[in-house]
Amino acid sequence: MNTFTRNTLILFVGLVLGVSISLGRIGLAERAEAELSPLPLADLRVFTEVFEKIKNDYVETRTDKDLIEYAIGGMLSSLDPHSAFLNEEAFTELQVGTSGQFGGLGIEISMEDGFVKVVTPIDDTPAQRAGMKAGDLIIRLDDKTVKGMSLSDAVKVMRGEPGSDIELTVVREGADKPLKITITRAIIKVTSVKSRSLEKGYGYVRITQFQSRTGDNLAEAISKLKDENDGLKGLVLDLRNNPGGVLNAAVSVSDAFIDKGLIVYTEGRTNDSDNKFHATSGDLLKGAPLIVLVNGGSASASEIVAGALQDHQRAVILGTQSFGKGSVQTILPMNNGTAIKITTARYFTPNGRSIQAEGIVPDIKVEPLKIAHTEKQLERIKEADLSGHLSNGNGRKEKKKSRSKDKENKELPLSEKDFQLYEALNLLKGMNLLHARMAR
């Protein structure tokens, strides 16, 4: 073994031991026996041989630091789509991204078969306005091929100066050929909770992402809806295209509607990866019907909420099957300013269902259909339109039908704007009607 190979082996062994020490510091002492097992020296010799050949023969010069980072990155990205190595820059970007304001396109992404997959476009962002959809596969970023890029490299390309453009080449299910979508970068400000009244007594709350104050914001939104409607007869909680976020926020949102019992639990290989989260007393709706909307863009924390409410039979889940990200990632800072993001546990619903790669199956499947309005629709003639028709005999004055054809400023009905939400509202009305009749 020459001096270079020997030094490289020592460097890599030291790196491995350093990672073991870092892991031990965060409470993984129970792995001591595994950590003390002999290092796979034969495999490490192969690594150093490859390292040396790349160092000497690759067409372009690469520093030792670059090659070591590539090796660590490859080791982590090979584990699963969510584990990754974060160099100093990527670690800083991650911290910026969790602050609720950052520059970019406004999409949550993951890696799939070497390409960037859109988990969901974030509400009110350039990506959503440009027409990006959950499930889109991004194969090119401007003139750069995504194949071979790491997730952090792809994020770095997509972020840039607000006002600058980037062209994404996208493969979409059902499309005959790749789509080219130009998006103008902007400062992304994520508003966690939005709310409005659908009809008198029926409220709508949309959670776009789970942040540290989402639970408090939800309580404020429901309180406001109650004041506007003199109470609520039912609520639609919209978690469609919600990529997840902070675990504690998902627990708080679930707890807002559940009086007692388990909300979610996690299981991993270490004791500190096993956690259980329970509800506290109190239901903000006091038992009023609740519908939760989910789709293929609902992931992670969204699935925790949907699964908990479904298992407790507190809500009807409506829409399409969710994304299926049921794993927990932990950020482990390293001593040199870098970090690793590694999967440490799986989520389970109160009834013991694993969310991972399964997702939440809705109680009522409703596809996001688009109902087209026919402008030239023949108006049907009714009895009341016939000349000399008999009155109905109930003593009420007949209403004169307005025949105004001014539809320029008429807002589209809910059934045309959002069919899934329209169905959820109808279901809430039906549940209230049935409850009222049974109470008689």
User: Between 185 and 2, where is the model more confident?
Assistant: 185
Q: Give Rg (Cα) of the chain.
A: 27
**What pLDDT does 410 receive?**
59
Name the amino acid, one letter, at 90.
Answer: A
Residue 80, judged by CB atoms within 10 A of its CB (0-12, 13-18, 19+), counts as: middle
User: pLDDT (tens digit, 9 = 90+) per residue, 420-429?
Assistant: 999 999 999 9
Confidence of residue 8 (pLDDT cuts 50, 70, 90): very low
**What pLDDT does 346 receive?**
96
Beta bridge partners of 108: 120
User: pLDDT (tens digit, 9 = 90+) per residue, 9-34?
Assistant: 444 444 443 433 333 333 444 454 44
**What pLDDT does 30 receive?**
47
Based on the residue annotation, tell me whether 325 is a catalytic residue of this protein: yes
Single out the catalytic residue among 152, 300, 302, 322: 300
Distances from the Cα of 32 to the Cα of 37, 120, 268, angstroms: 9, 40, 17
If you average pLDDT over every residue of the chain, what do you get? 85
Mean of pLDDT values over 272-296: 96
Q: Is the pLDDT of residue 7 over 80?
A: no
Mean of pLDDT values over 250-258: 98
| CATH superfamily entry for domain 193-327+344-365 | 2-enoyl-CoA Hydratase; Chain A, domain 1 (3.90.226.10)
Q: What is the bridge-based pairing of β-strands 202-207 and 193-199? A: antiparallel
User: Between 77 and 395, where is the model more confident?
Assistant: 77
Domain positions in the chain: 3-89, 94-99+101-189, 193-327+344-365
- Asked if 97 and 106 touch (Cβ cutoff 8 Å), the reply is no
> Coil, strand or helix: which one is 196?
strand
84-93, 179-188, 377-386, 406-415: range with lowest mean pLDDT: 406-415
CA torsion angle 12 16 21 22 (round to 10): 100
**What pLDDT does 280 receive?**
97
Rank 111-125, 142-156, 302-316 by mean pLDDT and report only the highest.
Answer: 302-316
Confidence of residue 395 (pLDDT cuts 50, 70, 90): low
Q: What is the bridge-based pairing of β-strands 316-319 and 290-294? A: parallel
d(CA 308, CA 258): 9
Contacting residues for 118 by C-beta, under 8 A, at least 6 apart: 107, 108, 109, 127, 132, 133, 134, 135, 136, 137, 138
Single out the catalytic residue among 325, 327, 341, 418: 325
12-16, 194-198, 324-328, 363-367: range with lowest mean pLDDT: 12-16
Confidence of residue 374 (pLDDT cuts 50, 70, 90): low
- Containing 165, the helix (H) or strand (E) segment is strand 165-171
The residue with tokens 């997959």 is 117
Q: Is the pLDDT of residue 401 over 90?
A: no
User: pLDDT (tens digit, 9 = 90+) per residue, 76-105?
Assistant: 999 998 999 998 877 877 765 555 556 789
Joined tokens for residue 371:
């109902």
CA 328-332-334 angle, to 5 degrees, is 165
- Asked if 103 and 161 touch (Cβ cutoff 8 Å), the reply is yes
Based on the residue annotation, tell me whether 311 is a catalytic residue of this protein: yes
**What pLDDT does 418 receive?**
93
d(CA 116, CA 108): 10
Based on the residue annotation, tell me whether 415 is a catalytic residue of this protein: no
**What pLDDT does 56 receive?**
94
Contacting residues for 392 by C-beta, under 8 A, at least 6 apart: 398
> Coil, strand or helix: which one is 327?
strand
Question: CB atoms < 10 A from the CB of 11, how many?
Answer: 14
**What pLDDT does 398 receive?**
62
User: pLDDT (tens digit, 9 = 90+) per residue, 107-144?
Assistant: 988 888 888 999 889 888 999 999 999 899 999 999 99
Architecture of domain 94-99+101-189: Roll (2.30)
pLDDT above 90: percentage of residues in the chain: 60
Single out the catalytic residue among 252, 311, 322, 418: 311
User: pLDDT (tens digit, 9 = 90+) per residue, 33-78?
Assistant: 445 567 888 999 999 999 999 999 999 999 999 999 999 999 999 9
Backbone phi and psi for residue 7, each to the nearest 5 degrees, phi listed first:
-65, -40
pLDDT above 70: percentage of residues in the chain: 84
